[in-house]
Amino acid sequence: MPKYYIAKSIEIAAPPQKVFECVADYGTWTTWSPWLIAEPTAKVTLSKPANAVGSTYAWVGDVTGEGILEHKRLEPGKLIVDELKFIKPFKSTNTTTFELKPTANGTHLTWSMDSSMPWFLFWMIPMMKTFIGMDYGRGLAMIKDLIETGKINSKVIHHGVEKVSSLKMAGVARICKVEGVSSSMHEAFGEAHREFARLGLPIDKGAISVYTTFKIKQGEFHYISGFIIPENTTVPAGSSLKTWSMPTSKAYRIEHIGPYKHLGNGWSVANMQCRGKKLKQQKIGTFEVYRNNPDTTPEQEIKTDIYLPLKG
Residue 122 pLDDT greater than 90, yes or no: no
Residue 2 pLDDT greater than 70, yes or no: no
Give CA–CA dist 211/209, Å, rounded. Answer: 7
Residue 127 pLDDT greater than 90, yes or no: no
DSSP-assigned states of every residue in 191-255: HHHHHHHHHT---TT-EEEEEEEEETTTTEEEEEEEEEE-TT--PPTT-S-EEEEE-SEEEEEEE
Regarding whether 229 and 169 lie in a shared domain, the answer is: yes
Query: 105, 84, 107, 146: which is closest to 20 by C-alpha?
Result: 107
Average pLDDT, the chain: 93
Residue 264 pLDDT greater than 80, yes or no: yes
Give CA–CA dist 221/15, Å, rounded. Answer: 35
- Regarding pTM above 0.85, the answer is yes
Q: Could you tell me the CATH number of the domain that includes residue 250?
A: 3.20.80.10
Regarding whether 129 and 216 lie in a shared domain, the answer is: no
Res 96: pLDDT: 96
Give CA–CA dist 125/65, Å, rounded. Answer: 19
Res 119: pLDDT: 59
Top-confidence range, 36-45, 110-119, 161-170: 161-170
Residue 131 pLDDT greater than 70, yes or no: yes
Regarding whether 266 and 193 lie in a shared domain, the answer is: yes
Res 125: pLDDT: 62
Regarding whether 198 and 111 lie in a shared domain, the answer is: no
Give CA–CA dist 212/229, Å, rounded. Answer: 18
Residues with Cβ within 8 Å of residue 144, at least 6 apart in sequence: 10, 11, 12
Res 219: pLDDT: 82
Residue 147 pLDDT greater than 80, yes or no: yes
Res 160: pLDDT: 94
Regarding whether 113 and 253 lie in a shared domain, the answer is: no
More confident residue, 275 or 154: 154
Residue 239 pLDDT greater than 90, yes or no: yes
pLDDT bracket for residue 216 (50, 70, 90): confident
Residues with Cβ within 8 Å of residue 174, at least 6 apart in sequence: 184, 185, 187, 188, 222, 223, 224, 225
What confidence tens digit (pLDDT) does each residue in 17-55 have? 999 999 999 999 999 999 998 888 899 999 999 999 999
pLDDT bracket for residue 111 (50, 70, 90): very high
Residue 129 pLDDT greater than 60, yes or no: yes
Residue 182 pLDDT greater than 80, yes or no: yes
Q: Could you tell me the CATH number of the domain that includes residue 107?
A: 3.30.530.20
How many domains is the chain built from? 2
User: Of the residues 151, 183, 217, which one is the last residue of a structural domain?
Assistant: 151
Domain region containing 145: 3-151
